[in-house]
Amino acid sequence: MLLNAATAGAAGGTGAAGDTGAASLGGDGGTRRERFRAWRRSRPFVGGLLTALGGVELFFSGQLDIGKIHVQLGIEGLQATIIPIVLVLLGILVLAMPAHRVFYGVIALAVAVYSLVGVNLGGFFVGMLLASVGGILTVAWIPKDRAAKGRATKGRAATGSAPDRTAPTESAER
């Protein structure tokens, strides 16, 4: 499984032979569907999937034949091959390494917008829109632990309780 050691350690350690899958879910490890759900929620899954699907759509629109007319724009079709491969690769990298999601999302968004010029109007707008929305969702995704910390901070501000301050006061300096 693609679970990091921090998640496994926080959830209760590792199982036999370093198996972190069962330990991180607490108990028997759950069904295959539960394990996939936990994996999917630990990364920007929808953003990566849409980015990769946009790349696949761009690839097939770049290799389009309409009767005897072969539609292909760019420097002898090189862009029609490179841009979709880059988008699929970025979608896979987002899923494999969610820590770098902002970088991959921004690059995916820039490449998707450039595909408007480089690959048949961005795959007739469909591939460009899929990859653009995927890049935006990738950048906007926040890990669950950061979202919980943000809600706790907002909750403290709403209740009026001040955070603990460790800075010395005037009376302590004298």
Q: What's the mean per-residue pLDDT of the chain?
A: 79
β-pair type (69-70, 65-66): antiparallel
Q: What is the pLDDT of residues 85-117, one digit of tens each?
A: 999 999 999 999 999 999 999 999 999 999 998
71 occurs within a structural domain: yes
Residue ranges of the chain with per-residue pLDDT less than 70 = 1-28, 70-76, 155-174
Instruction: Let me know if residue 162 belongs to a domain.
Output: no
Q: Residue 172 falls within a domain, yes or no? A: no
Q: Does 17 reside within a domain?
A: no
Look at residue 103 and tell me if it is in a domain: yes
110: in domain: yes
* Host domain of residue 58: 44-141
Please tell me whether the overall predicted TM-score, pTM, comes out greater than 0.85 for this model: no
**What tens digit of pLDDT does each residue of 35-45 get?**
999 999 999 99
pLDDT at position 76:
58
Domain count, the chain: 1
Share of the chain above pLDDT 70, in %: 66
155: in domain: no
Inter-CA distances, 84 with 46, 50, 75, Å: 18, 12, 15
Domain assignment present for residue 36? The answer is no
